[in-house]
Chain A
C-alpha cells in the first residue's frame, strides 16, 4: 500500500527501528480501512448467509461517488463528499439487493447460485465504473496534509481522520448491535432467521437495513482507501477484496468482532512484513496467516455459535 504518511524515529534508534515504526503506522491505517470494510461484509454475510463477491466493486463505486461529489459535480469538501458518497452507495446496495440478489436468493436456495450472481454483478459494476470514469487514475481534490508526531510515528492529518473514522465506525456498530433493538434483531436474524420471524421480527426490513449499512460501509471504506492510497482506480476494490476475505475468515466468518480483530491482525502483519520483504508479497502474507489460522482454529479466531 502506497501511503501518504511517513514515519520517523526520534532518538536515532537505527534504520531498522525507523522502518518498523513506519510500517506500524502504515499497518494501523490499512487496518482501519480493512476494519470498516470487513465489518460491512460480515454484517451482510450474517444476515444473508452468502458472500458478496461484488463487495469490492461496492467499495470502488462508493469511492467514485465521493470522488464525483468532491471533484466533478458539487466540489464538496472531501470528508463531506465521503459521507454523502457512502450513504449513496448504501442506497444503491439496497436497490441491487432488492432487484438483483434477493430474487435469485429467493428462487435458488443453494448459496452457490447466488455467489455466481454476485460474481456477475461484480463484473457489471466494474465495467460500469470503466465506462463512466475510464481506466485512468483519479485523484481526490484535497488540501495538502500536515504531519503529526505520535511518539516515533508520524501520521498525516488525513490518516488520523481515517483512523478516527474507523474507531467511530467500530463503536457505532458495537452500539448498534449490543444496545439497540434494531441491532438485536439483526443478531437474532443472523442466529436463526425462522425463529426471529416467529418472534415478530420483520426479516425483510432488517435485510434491507443491513444492506444499507453494509453498502454504506463499503462506500466509506472505498473512499478512505482512495484517500489513503492517494488515488482511485476501478479495480482498487477488487484487489482489496481478497485481503478483506482474509480478515473476515481469520476473525471468524460472520463474527463482527472477529472481523475487527482480523482486520487489525492482517493490516499490521501485511504492512510490517512489507518493510522487510518485497511488498509485492503482502497478499501472500495475508493468505499465509489465513491458512495457519484455519489449520490451528478452523472456525476462525473469534467464532462462536450465533455469530456477532
Chain B
C-alpha cells in the first residue's frame, strides 16, 4: 500500500493513500489541460487541491470521478486500478463528488435526491421488485430514515418535500454534499464547496467537512479561499499548468518560491488571503 505524507515539505505523518493518481494527462484539441499530474491523497485527511485558474484542477477532478476519461495515466482507489472507469462504478467504489456550480436532480424532491444516491439497493433490479418485495421495502424504509437524519443534520429537513430546483444556491450546495454523504463515501471530492457562499454558510460547510473527516471520510477539495484551506485542510497539493507543483502543509508552501510565484503571490495580491 502506498504511503504518503512528509516528502520533505509536510509535517503530516505517513499515511496510506486512499486515492492515488500518476501521470494523468488530458488534452483538448492538442491543448493539455492536465499534463502528467500525479499525487496521493492521504486516507482520513482533508486535502486541498489549489492552483491558478486553468491549472487543470476541475478537469482532474472530472477524470478522478469518472466524469471524463484521461488520455494517459493511472488512478487507484486503495489498490484497485479504476483508470477510466465510468462514474457510476467509481461512485460504487466509494468515491463521490460535488460540482463547482451546484447540480441537483431538479425534478425530484430534496428527499428523493438523497434516496437515489444510496448504494447497493435491491430495488434497482426490476425482478427484485416482484421477487423480493420485502427486502426492497425494508431497504427503502432504512434509506428514508437515514436520508431524513442527514437532511436534519444539514438543515434541509423542512425542505424534504420541495423540488430540488426550487432551492436557493446555498441550499443546493448543502443538498449536493448531503447527497454525496448519503452514498456512504470513503472518498469525497469537493469542487469549490465554498464558491458563491455567504460567510456563515462557509463556516457551516467547513464544520460538515471536519465532521466527515472525524467519521473517517477522505476529502479532496478544490479551494481558492486560503483561509478555509488553512483552517480545515491537513494537506495541500498545488497544481500548475496541469502538473503537480508541490505538496505539503500550507504554512510550508507559503515559503516555497515556485508556489508563491505560480499561485500564492497571485492570490495574496488579489486579497483572498489575509
Q: How far is the CA of A102 from the CA of B90 in the complex (A)?
A: 23
Asked whether B31 is an interface residue with its Cβ less than 8 Å from the other chain, the reply is: no
Residues of A within 8 A of B121 (CB): 181
In-complex Cβ contact of A200 among B92, B106, B125 (8 A) = B92
User: Judging by beta carbons under 8 Å apart, are A198 and B123 in contact?
Assistant: no
Q: Does A231 contact B (CB under 8 A)?
A: no
- Residues of A in contact (CB 8 Å), total 30
| Complex Cα spacing A211 to B222, Å | 39
Report if A187 contacts B (CB, 8 A): yes
A176 to B125, CA, bound (A): 12
A308 in the interface, Cβ–Cβ < 8 Å? yes
Q: A180-B129, A181-B124, A185-B124 are in contact. Are A197 and B107 (CB under 8 A)?
A: no
A164 within 8 A of B: no
Q: Tell whether, in the assembled complex, residue B116 and residue A197 are in contact, meaning their CB atoms are under 8 Å apart.
A: no
1/0 per residue, CB under 8 A from B, across A280-301: the answer is 0000000000000000000000
Nearest B residue to A304, CB-CB: B107
Within 8 A of B (CB), among A251-297: none
Q: Which residues of A contact B117 (CB under 8 A)?
A: 199-200
Contact: B140 with A198, CB < 8 Å? no
Which of chain A's residues 158-215 have a Cβ closer than 8 Å to chain B?
A: 176, 179-182, 184-185, 187-188, 190-192, 194-203, 205, 209, 212
Do the beta carbons of B140 and A200 come within 8 Å of each other?
no
Q: Do A181 and B107 touch (CB < 8 A)?
A: no
A230 to chain B, nearest CB (A): 33
Judged by a CB distance under 8 angstroms, whether A138 is at the interface is no
* Residue B205 at the chain A interface, CB threshold 8 Å: no
Summarize A's interface: helix, strand, loop or mixed.
helix
A255 to chain B, nearest CB (A): 9
Residues of A within 8 Å of B136, CB to CB, are 180-181
B97–A182 touching, CB < 8 Å: no
Q: Are A192 and B103 in contact (CB under 8 A)?
A: yes
B165 sits at the interface (CB 8 A): yes
Q: Does A16 sit at the interface, judged by CB under 8 A?
A: no
Interface of B is mostly: mixed
B119 within 8 A of A: yes
Q: Mark B88-109, 1 if CB is under 8 A from A, else 0.
A: 1001100011000001111110
Q: Bound complex: CA of A209 vs CA of B105, how far in Å?
A: 20
The 8 Å CB contact of B163, one of A184, A190, A306, is: A306
A180 to B107, CA, bound (A): 16
Taking A184-B112, A187-B107, A306-B107 as contacts, is the C-beta distance between A197 and B140 under 8 angstroms?
no
Task: Verify B66–A181 contact, CB threshold 8 A.
Answer: no
Between A196, A212, A306, A307, the greatest number of chain B beta carbons within 10 A of the residue's beta carbon is seen for A306
With a cutoff of 8 Å between Cβ atoms, the chain B residues found around residue A306 in the complex are 105-108, 163, 165
Cβ of A305 under 8 Å from chain B: yes
Most chain-B Cβ atoms within 10 A of its Cβ — which of A187, A197, A308? Answer: A197
B103 to chain A, nearest CB (A): 5
Closest B residue to A255 by beta carbon equals B107
* A196 interface neighbour in B115, B116, B129, Cβ under 8 Å: B116
* CA distance in complex: A200, B180 (Å): 10
Complex contacts, A184 vs chain B, CB 8 Å: 108, 112, 115-116
Q: In the complex, what's the smallest C-beta–C-beta distance from A254 to chain B, in angstroms?
A: 9
Q: How far is the CB of B144 from chain A (nearest CB, A)?
A: 11
Q: Which residues of B contact A308 (CB under 8 A)?
A: 107
Which residues of A are found within 8 Å of B97, using beta-carbon distances? 198
B105 contacts across to A, CB distance below 8 A: 187-188, 191-192, 195-196, 199, 306
Interface residues, chain B, CB within 8 Å of chain A? 65-67, 86-88, 91-92, 96-97, 103-108, 112, 115-119, 121-126, 129, 136, 139-140, 143, 163, 165, 179, 183
Can you identify 18 A-B contacts, CB atoms within 8 angstroms? A176-B129, A179-B140, A181-B116, A182-B125, A184-B115, A188-B105, A188-B112, A195-B105, A196-B116, A197-B67, A197-B91, A198-B66, A199-B116, A200-B92, A201-B88, A209-B126, A304-B107, A306-B108
Q: Known pairs A305-B163, A306-B165. 10 more at Cβ < 8 A?
A: A180-B129, A182-B129, A184-B115, A195-B103, A199-B116, A199-B183, A200-B117, A212-B126, A304-B163, A306-B163
